[in-house]
Structures are given as structure tokens and as C-alpha cells.
Chain A
Amino acid sequence: DAGVTQSPTHLIKTRGQQVTLRCSPKSGHDTVSWYQQALGQGPQFIFQYYEEEERQRGNFPDRFSGHQFPNYSSELNVNALLLGDSALYLCASSLRTSGPDETQYFGPGTRLLVL
């Protein structure tokens, strides 16, 4: 049973460029969340996708956008990259439940360096 997978593992970009990160959820999961984790800090929630729509969003600018595909995989797009966007980007998947016990499982992350 494959867990959450992310690609690429590492990426180097320059300021102003655009980047796309990809995530495949754990088998059986239908919800994908994205987080940004700067060095030495806790993960910060970017947004969550369910049924191909953005359902919740954290405090991130519109430069951060995403997409979820019919097979539940997801992409995170960041436009006009800034040096401060350098971070580990984490994808987490879960199975949407009607109760409060939805558990998120994380992938290994994509390390983005903006020069």
C-alpha cells in the first residue's frame, strides 16, 4: 500500500519563476492538503482540496494556487517566486469523514530553494 508520494524531491528556482509541485495521495484517500515548512519552523497550512475544489485556505497570497485531479492527485503552483518561498513543501492526504477524526498522512516533502 503506497503512502503519500511527492515529486520532485528537490528543486532549485530563481526569483520570479514559477514552480509546480505534485502529490499523489495514499491509496483510498480523497482529500489533499498542502503545507509550507520553513527551516526550523512548524508546517504552515496553505490549503486543502476535496472533490477537485479548494475547501479551506490558510494565510497565503494568491501566488499560491492548486489543483486536484479526478484521481485525487494534486498540484501546488507558486508564481513569482520570492526568496522567502524557500522551504519544504509537504503534502498530506486524508479520507474525508463526516466526523472529526480525519487523520492526515504526510509525504516526504519537496525541498524548494529559490535563489
Chain B
Amino acid sequence: LAKTTQPISMDSYEGQEVNITCSHNNIATNDYITWYQQFPSQGPRFIIQGYKTKVTNEVASLFIPADRKSSTLSLPRVSLSDTAVYYCLVRDTGRRALTFGSGTRLQVQP
């Protein structure tokens, strides 16, 4: 099964850039890697997804190296409202089951 690893928590200040890395092995060769944000007692909210290299949208960037064994979510200039848990989601190459990372709790302080 795909195994994913994320830092348990990170602290930042408003206006800083935050990078969260998810390590993942045994992921499906041709599937995208997706990142979600989750607030307490809510469903995960889609942030960004990509296959390789770099993807950017209006809220984040995603960096995926050529070996696809990790991915890094980059949040530019975080604000207090970015305090949440961030998850990567990958698909296992064998059983094709979808696997969430363990989640990274980001705390943004003023």
C-alpha cells in the first residue's frame, strides 16, 4: 500500500511563505497528487493537484520532483485564516485505493 509521511505540525507568522512536504512511495504511476485543507468538523477542501513539475493556482503552488516520491505544497503569504490541517492524497499503485497523508497542522500567528 502507498505510505505517506507529513510533518505533524508547523508554525508560521502572517505574511510568511509556508512549504509543507508529503513523502509518498508506491503511488500510482499515472495519477495526480492532490492537496486538501481541512478545518475542524468540516470536509476537506480542494487546494491544488498536479502530476509532475510545478503547478500554480490562485492560492498555492505544488512542486513534484521527477521521481514523484514527494510533493511540496507552497502557501505564499499565509494569513490567520490559513490555520488548518493540510493533507496530501495519493492513489496506491497496487490496490488503487486512495490514501490520505497523516496531515500537517499549520498554526499561523499574528
Q: Which A residues contact B (CB, under 8 angstroms)?
A: 4, 33, 35, 41-45, 48, 56-59, 88, 90, 92, 100-109, 111
Query: Given the known A-B contacts A48-B98, A90-B43, are A100 and B31 also in contact in the complex, defined by CB atoms under 8 Å?
Result: yes
Q: Number of contacts between A and B (CB, 8 Å)?
A: 61
Residues of A within 8 A of B12 (CB): none
- Residue B59 CB within 8 A of the other chain: no
Task: Give residues 38-86 of B contacting A (CB, 8 Å).
Answer: 41-46, 49, 51
- A103 CA / B41 CA spacing, docked (Å): 21
Q: Nearest Cβ distance between residue A90 and chain B, in whole angstroms? A: 5
In the complex, 12 of the A-B residue pairs with CB atoms within 8 angstroms, ordered by the A residue number, are A33-B98, A35-B100, A45-B97, A45-B99, A48-B98, A59-B97, A90-B43, A92-B43, A100-B28, A104-B34, A106-B43, A106-B44
Q: How far is the CA of A89 from the CA of B48 in the complex (A)?
A: 23
- Give the interface SS of chain B, mostly helix, strand, loop or mixed: loop
Q: Say whether B46 contacts A104, CB under 8 Å.
A: yes
Are A4 and B43 in contact, with the CB atoms below 8 A? Answer: yes
Given contacts A42-B100, A42-B102, contact A101 B49 (CB under 8 A): yes
Partner of B44, one of A44, A90, A100, A101: A90
Residues on B lying within 8 angstroms of A by beta carbon are 28, 30-32, 34, 36, 41-46, 49, 51, 87, 89, 95-103
Q: Closest CB-CB distance, B66 to chain A, in whole Å?
A: 16
B46 touches A56 (CB 8 A): no
B34/A106 in contact, CB under 8 A:
no
Q: A106 to B87, alpha carbons, bound, how many Å?
A: 13
Q: Contact at A88–B41, with CB atoms within 8 Å?
A: yes
Asked if A109 contacts B95 (CB within 8 A), the reply is: no
Contact check, A44 vs B32: say whether CB atoms are below 8 A apart.
no
B45 near A106: Cβ-Cβ < 8 Å: yes
Given contacts A43-B44, A104-B34, 7 further A-B contacts (CB under 8 A): A42-B103, A45-B97, A58-B97, A58-B98, A92-B43, A104-B46, A109-B43
State whether B31 touches A111 (Cβ < 8 A): no
CB neighbours (8 Å) of B42 from chain A are 108-109
